Amino acid sequence: MPALGSTVLYTLSETDAATINQRRDDLRIVGLRVFAGLEAEPGQTFPATVTRVDGDAANVQVALDGTDVYWAPARTEGDPGEQGTWVQLASS
């Protein structure tokens, strides 16, 4: 398991992308342009910071391509590109 504060790569699921885009749209409807960025799509991979480790799952804050972040709780490690999972960065 990654340590708290470490960076992993997280791949968005269909639900993640829909949640992100809906949140951005909801704020635009009320006239707030709080978040700016490209539309989130399933399968996109972004860096994420581990905020909690619980057994074989981790909560991560995903740094999106824009001005906002996405909290993805209780996500497990997966294979690179597997939607809704994170992978540890290779050691250099």
- pLDDT tens for each residue of 2-24: 999 999 999 999 999 999 999 88
Instruction: Give residue-wise pLDDT tens across range 45-79.
Output: 999 999 999 999 999 999 999 888 999 999 999 99
Greatest alpha-carbon pair distance for the chain in Å reads 46
**Would the pLDDT of 29 be above 90?**
no
The pTM assigned to this predicted structure is: 0.90
Burial of 75 from C-beta contacts in 10 A (0-12 / 13-18 / 19+): buried
Domain range annotation of the chain? 7-88
